[in-house]
Each structure stands twice: as C-alpha cells, then as structure tokens.
C-alpha cells in the first residue's frame, strides 16, 4: 500500500481496464487487423488495441493518489481534466513521432509545435521535422490517429491527451483532433526551479459546437495576406475552425475575378487577392484545421460590384467606390435575366476557387430605396404579386440559391434571408439576437449566433464570454438545440487598419472561442481573465501584433519622447463602444487616420479591471491599511500624471485632442483621494454639498474626449458613495 492507502497492484490493473476502454472506440471498425495503413501493402502488426493499452500503460508507473492541483492556463478549457502525480521534464532530447495515414497535416503541425516549443523555452531540439512512422519507441510525444479528418461541419475534433512522467500520448479519431490536442499540449508547458515540464494529466476533450468562427472584413479596409495568416494562426491556437472571409462591400471588391475582371480592376483601388493568394490562404487554413468560407454580399452592400457593371444596378450609373460607412442605396436589379446570367458565371468561378461546401451571400441591410424608385421593378412586383421589398429579396435569394446548388454549395446568409420555402440545409447567421436564433431553430433551420460577438464594438471580454448560443435557461427542446451550430466573432472593418486589427480581435476572441468549445458550465469570469492573460502572451509567438503594435503607436504619437505618461492615460481609457465613435462630430471614411490615441487604446484594459477589483476589496474591509495604501498609490499616480503628459502634448499636436482626457483623469483621481480620506478618517465628514460637487466632477470626467473615455470613473464613484457619511 502506498501512503494514500491505494494498492498499487490494484491500481495497475484498474488503469489497464480504463486504458483499454479508452482505446476501444479507435478500433471499433477494425478489430482483427492493424488499423493504420502505412502503405497499401504494409499494415501495423499485432493486435493494436492490446498493444496500444500496454503502450499507454508504459508511460509511467501510474499513481492513483491525489495530487495538489496546478492552476492550468488552458483556453479553451477542456471538457474533462484529471490531474495526476508527476511531471514530464522537457530536455533537448525531446522528440515526437506520428502513427497515422500518409500524407497528412499532422506531421507539419507537429513540426510547428516543436518550433514554437523551442522558441518559447530556448531549448535546442535535435528534431526539426516529424515524419510519420518515425522513431516511435524513443519519442517523448506520440501522436496516434486513424484518419486525416475532413474540413466539414460536424467532423470529429475530439482527442485524448495523456501526460505521464516518461511519455506523452495524444489520441485522436482524426488528424483534426490531433491538431486540437497539440494546442492544449503547448498550453500545458509549465516551469519550476528545475526548468520546464508538463504536468501529469489525463484530458478528454471535444467541442461543444461544431461551428466556431471568426469573420474578417477585408472589404472596407483591405488586409494583406500576412495579416490573414497570422490571424489564422491565432484561430488555430484557440481551436476555432471557420474563417468567414468578407470579400465584397460598398468600399471594395477584394478577389480577382477572371470572368468579370472589371470587378477587381475597377472596384478595389488595386487592393485585392489574386487566385493564387486565395489558394495560399485556403491551404494555410486547412493545415490548421480551419475552413475558409467566402462572403459575397448581395443584393445590397454592392456598390463596388456596380462600378464596373452599372447595367446590373437597380438605378442608372455611373457608380464609384463608396468611401464612407453606413447603409448605402446601390443594389442589384433582381428583375433582370442578365443579373442571374452574371451570377451563374460569377459563382461558377468562385465555387471552383473556394472548396468549402458553404457560400455566404450576405443579404443584409438592403434599404430597398432603388427598388422602390424604379418603375420597371415596381411593375414586375405587381405583375408577380410580390408585395414589397422584403418579398422581392426573397425572390432574389431563391434564384441565387438555385445557382449555388448547381455548383454544390449550401447557402449562408444573415437574418434577412430567412424566408419560408428555403431548403433546410441553409444556414442563418443571426446578428439580431437570441429571438431570431431560436425562431430559425424551431423551424428546423441551421443557425449560428453573432449577436453579442461583434468584437469591432469594443465591448468587454466578459460580455462576450457570458453570451451563450444556448444559455442554461434556453426554452428550446433538445431536438431544436441541434440546429444551433455555434457562432462567429465578427471583425467588421470600418475602424481597423493593418496595425490595429489584431488588437481588436485578440485576446478577446480567445474567450469567445472558449464559449463555443468548452462546456456551458465553464463560465468563471475571474478565472477566464487569469488564463486569458497567459494565452494573450502565447499568441504573440504566432506573430500576432495586438501587444507590440500598441507600444509602436505610442512612440509615434509622442514623437519619440517618453511614452510612460501617455501609457498611464491609455491604460485607463477605451475606444467609445458600440457605434458611438461615429457620433462625435467627425465623419470617418476609408481615408481617415487610424493612428490616434483612441486607436492605440484597447477594449477591456487590465489596469481598469484591477482597479475596480481593488476598490471592491477595500470597501469590504475599510480598515485594511495595505489595500488603502495600494489604492492611494494608484490614485496619486493618476492625479500627478497630467503634469508630465502635458509637456509631451505641448510638443506633439496629434495629442491635443486628449489633453482634456488627461486633465479629467487627474481631477477624478483627486476626487478618489479625497474620498479615501473621508472613508478612513474618524473625524472628517463629507457632507451632501461635497458629495454633490464630486459627482459633478466625475460626471464631466466621464465625457468622451478624442473618441475615447475613461473607464475608472464608476469605481471612483463607488469611493465617493462610500464616503457619504
């Protein structure tokens, strides 16, 4: 008996039975012969199920004893995690080996894993590539899977990850599952005084939803291929599996079209993706287990199409590329045969270029003004008993659907395409919310949620994190819930550039990825933020620039002067949320600078969250001198920062617009300090007159300046309230 009172012999045979049951599903279809085909003529020998069980058993002398749990920095958090005793020590002798079908992306993913692991630890590994069928017996990491895995909705992405003291195994039914397991494996890397190690764990993991996407809008502001690739790397790291590529908009048509070359030549300002670049992105995404679904937005949001082909519009041209934002009038004419002849040829080319089974047609925000003003269109509607613009768009959608079906595609669109009579294999993407989502699911239509995941609106991470496609109180039946495929974060492009897009996508999208992968019961916000901080740093190793570009922008804004005082201000400021940035008296266009303080500020800054927490803890125990000292130190820094920042503002005109924001921070901090004095003093009394004055100061400090706002004002308001004696 060991010191926990567990019989080691009994533990040995219990473990054998557990491992046997875990291995069984991988061999259910092929019980009597080897299941991994190395070549057409050669199979693995022996009885694979028994061999695998003993292989797993040989990882270590398994301990059934309880162990002190390590806080794991995993995101998305797995479905099942069991921590064990022991550590796998990482040394330069570490290697990986693969057993699975050839050829496949798993070997390439394993090689990328080694490169990332080496870069993170500084360890010189002797192995650089991981060919299938390598030196299995001596490998520290073994990857076993049965089939490559397809880029299809509903594909098996599950995996089992076993870390023991002398070996690590990742099992997957498909190669896609191995890719997901490799990301968890990398996140497990830990340190102690002896170096790097992987804690002993048994993880059984699978996604909650099959559709976990990120929309990237390259129509409004073009994003080069390298930007797309680094965001695909980030998506792969957090187990997302769909990149929704928004490729046409009023402001630009972004794909080379050989059938209708005026689309990209006249509608893009020269910024578009060639066929070869599209294929490159699709292959890059596929290597990371990510589908690429294109969106060509019709019949509205179509100005860029009509620049080269005005004869297809519902109103006479000429047309030019739109430079401003919002809903525009230009729309395709749905009553002309030439419109559908055009789309037959267009979608023939794009269906061949994009292999995914789904094609997104947009279908949103058609205001119908051109249709209502066109006598021929109105006569057509009257003749065909079409009562209004909504019904006319349904007519258009059905025509487009037949074209897509001809080329083997399934149609996806925003809420507006949801009309009776459409086949049940289309997908409705809901931007309107839970009610629209549930309505589609109840009628048997596949749907996914984007409402609440609009990351361009600069809302806090916890807002997105607690937004669930199927909340615990959902009124849907178990059958109806099956029609909700998952969701997509949407990065709309009005206010992003090449240097700011990463800071708007990451790290918040990692929290959305967890919501779509992990069980719904995992929703501890504090722990989410703890893990997110670690994952955010790891995303940098993939080339994402959400952290590094911020410092670069601050250096540019200060003209090379000390960025410290400006950073103090930016760390407590956020861009205006929702669409309020467009309502500040400045008209944003495609040419507007996105290099100001508001663009360097990020949603949900850590400094603000920490200050709010400190205020809450202090107000629970106002006698705690340590907490008081910490708050006072922070408030003094903010109060005095304006004096230093003013010197920089005076030499950098671009900062003039935030001088008032800096002054407001100083005044608000002074209010907080005075409130602290009243709270901790037994003699001083604030009084109603003082309270009224301070509230007015804070109200003015909360006003936006330079399209940004201070986020610590509500917490200081709590101090004022507590001082009201």
pLDDT at 69 over 80: no
Q: Do 597 and 680 share a domain, yes or no?
A: yes
Decide: helix, strand or coil at residue 347. helix
pLDDT (tens digit per residue) in 637-675: 999 999 999 999 999 999 999 999 999 999 999 999 999
Using CA of residue 602, residue 608, residue 610, residue 613, what is the dihedral sign?
Answer: negative
Instruction: Judge if 200 and 292 occupy the same domain.
Output: no
* 482 assigned to some structural domain: yes
The model carries a pTM of 0.90
* 3-state SS record for 633-658: HHHHHHHHHHHHHHHHHCCCHHHHHH
Q: What percent of the chain has pLDDT over 70?
A: 90
Q: Confirm whether 580 is domain-assigned.
A: yes
> Which residues span the domain enclosing 152?
8-205
Confidence tier at 134 by pLDDT (50, 70, 90): confident
Antiparallel, parallel or unpaired: β 446-449 and 427-430: parallel
> What's the confidence (pLDDT) of residue 225?
98
Query: What pLDDT is attached to residue 68?
Result: 55
Domain boundary among 489, 518, 543: 543
Whether residue 55 has pLDDT greater than 60: no
Residue 307 DSSP class: H
Residue 50 has pLDDT above 50, yes or no: no
CA distance 433 to 249: 23
Cα–Cα separations (whole angstroms), residue 53 to 18, 23, 61, 135? 9, 7, 14, 19
What CATH number should be reported for the domain holding residue 190?
3.30.379.10
Domain boundary among 182, 205, 228: 205
Q: Are residues 464 and 361 in the same domain?
A: yes
DSSP 582: G
Within a domain: residue 1? Answer: no
15 pLDDT above the threshold of 50: no
Co-location of 424 and 557 in the same domain? no
Note the pLDDT tens digit of each residue in 274-329: 999 999 999 999 999 999 999 999 999 999 999 999 999 999 999 999 999 999 99
pLDDT at 12 over 50: no
Tens digits of residue pLDDT in 526-568: 999 999 999 999 999 999 999 999 999 999 999 999 999 999 9
Note the pLDDT tens digit of each residue in 196-243. Answer: 999 999 999 999 999 999 999 999 999 999 999 999 999 999 999 999
Asked if residue 225 belongs to a domain, the reply is yes
**437-493 pLDDT tens trace:** 999 999 999 999 999 999 999 999 999 999 999 999 999 999 999 999 999 999 999
**Does residue 3 fall inside a structural domain?**
no
Does residue 649 share a domain with residue 703? yes
If asked whether residues 522 and 651 sit together in one domain, one would say: no
Q: Are residues 306 and 361 in the same domain?
A: yes
pLDDT on residue 32: 30
Same domain, 369 and 438: yes
- Same domain assignment for residues 386 and 256: yes
518 or 421: whose pLDDT is higher? 518
Q: Residue range 705-715: average pLDDT?
A: 98
Q: Is the pLDDT of residue 54 over 50?
A: no
Classify residue 2: in a domain, yes or no: no
Give tens-digit pLDDT for 170-203. 999 999 999 999 999 999 999 999 999 999 999 9
pLDDT at 374: 97
Mean pLDDT for all residues in the chain:
91
* Judgement on whether residues 70 and 218 belong to the same structural domain of the protein: no
Which of 522, 543, 564 is where one domain is finished? Answer: 543
Task: Evaluate whether 413 touches 397 at the Cβ level (below 8 Å).
Answer: yes
Domain count, the chain: 3
Cβ atoms of 98 and 131 within 8 Å: the answer is yes
The verdict on 278 and 420 lying in the same domain is yes
Digit-coded pLDDT (tens) for 622-633:
999 999 999 999
Q: By CB neighbour count within 10 A (0-12 exposed, 13-18 middle, 19+ buried), where does 146 fall?
A: buried
- Domain with 358 in it: what CATH number? 3.20.20.80
Q: Are residues 216 and 185 in the same domain?
A: no
- Quick one: pLDDT band at residue 423, thresholds 50, 70, 90? confident
Structure tokens at 278: 């599209």
DSSP 360: E
Please count the other Cβ atoms lying within 10 Å of the Cβ belonging to residue 18: 15
Which residues are known to be catalytic?
365
């Amino acid at each position: 008996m060991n010191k926990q009172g567990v019989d080691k012999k009994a533990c040995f045979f219990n473990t054998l039975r557990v491992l046997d049951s875990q291995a069984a599903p991988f061999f259910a279809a092929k019980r009597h012969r080897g299941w991994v085909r190395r070549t057409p003529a050669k199979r693995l020998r022996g009885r694979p199920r028994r061999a695998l069980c003993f292989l797993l058993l040989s990882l270590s002398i398994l301990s059934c004893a309880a162990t002190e749990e390590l806080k794991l920095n995993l995101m998305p958090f797995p479905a099942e995690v069991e921590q064990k005793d022991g550590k796998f020590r990482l040394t330069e002798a570490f290697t990986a080996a693969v057993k699975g079908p050839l050829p496949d992306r798993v070997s390439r993913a394993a090689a990328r894993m080694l490169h990332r692991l080496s870069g993170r630890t500084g360890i010189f590994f002797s192995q650089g590539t991981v060919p299938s069928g390598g030196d299995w017996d001596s490998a520290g990491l073994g990857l076993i899977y049965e089939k490559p895995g397809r880029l299809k909705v509903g594909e098996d992405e599950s995996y089992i990850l076993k870390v023991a003291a002398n070996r690590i195994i990742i099992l997957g039914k498909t190669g896609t599952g191995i890719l997901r397991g490799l990301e968890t494996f990398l996140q497990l890397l830990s340190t102690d005084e002896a170096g790097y190690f992987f804690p002993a764990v048994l993880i059984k993991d699978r996604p909650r939803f099959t559709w976990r996407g990120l929309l990237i809008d390259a129509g409004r502001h073009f994003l080069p291929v390298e930007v797309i690739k680094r965001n695909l790397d980030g998506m792969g790291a957090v187990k997302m599996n769909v990149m929704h590529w928004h490729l046409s908009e009023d402001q630009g048509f972004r794909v080379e079209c050989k059938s209708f070359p005026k689309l990209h030549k006249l509608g893009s300002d020269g910024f578009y993706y060639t066929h070869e670049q599209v294929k490159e992105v699709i292959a890059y995404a596929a290597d990371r287990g990510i589908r690429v679904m294109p969106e060509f937005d019709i019949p509205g949001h179509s100005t860029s199409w009509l620049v080269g082909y005005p004869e297809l519009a519902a109103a006479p041209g000429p047309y030019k590329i739109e430079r401003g934002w919002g809903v525009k009038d230009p729309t395709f004419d749905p009553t002309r045969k030439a419109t559908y002849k055009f789309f037959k040829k267009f979608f023939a080319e794009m269906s061949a270029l994009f292999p995914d089974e789904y094609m997104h047609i947009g279908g949103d925000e058609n205001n119908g003004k051109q249709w209502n003003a066109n006598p021929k269109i109105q006569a057509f509607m009257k003749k065909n008993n079409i009562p209004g613009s909504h019904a006319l768009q349904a007519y258009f959608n059905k025509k487009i659907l037949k074209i897509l079906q001809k080329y083997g595609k399934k149609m996806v669109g925003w809420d507006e395409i949801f009309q009776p009579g459409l086949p049940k294999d289309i997908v409705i993407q809901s931007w309107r919310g839970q009610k629209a989502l549930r309505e589609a699911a109840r009628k048997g239509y596949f749907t996914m949620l984007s409402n609440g995941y609009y990351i361009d609106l600069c809302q806090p991470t916890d807002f997105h994190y607690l937004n669930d496609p199927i909340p615990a109180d959902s009124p849907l039946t178990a059958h109806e819930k099956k029609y909700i495929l998952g969701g997509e974060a949407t990065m709309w492009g009005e206010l992003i550039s090449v240097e700011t897009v990463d800071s708007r996508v990451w790290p918040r999208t990692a929290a959305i990825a967890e919501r779509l992968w992990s069980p719904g019961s995992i929703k501890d916000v504090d722990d989410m933020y703890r893990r997110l901080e670690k994952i955010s740093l790891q995303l940098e190793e993939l080339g994402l620039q959400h952290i590094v570009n911020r410092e670069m922008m601050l250096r540019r804004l200060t003209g090379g002067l000390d960025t410290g005082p400006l950073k103090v201000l930016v760390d407590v400021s956020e861009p205006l949320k929702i669409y309020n940035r467009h309502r500040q008296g400045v008209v944003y266009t495609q040419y507007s600078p996105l290099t100001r303080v508001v663009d360097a500020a990020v949603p949900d800054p850590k400094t603000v969250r920490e200050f709010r927490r400190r205020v809450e803890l202090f107000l629970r125990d106002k006698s705690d001198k340590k907490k008081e000292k910490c708050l006072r130190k922070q408030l003094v820094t903010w109060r005095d920062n304006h004096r230093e920042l003013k010197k920089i503002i005076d030499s950098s005109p671009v900062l003039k617009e935030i001088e008032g924001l800096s002054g407001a921070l100083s005044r608000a901090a002074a209010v907080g300090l005075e409130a602290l004095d009243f709270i901790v003093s037994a003699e001083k009394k604030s009084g109603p007159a003082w309270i009224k004055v301070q509230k007015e100061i804070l109200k003015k400090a909360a006003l936006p300046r330079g399209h940004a706002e201070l986020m610590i004002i509500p917490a200081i308001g709590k101090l004022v309230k507590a001082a009201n004696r």
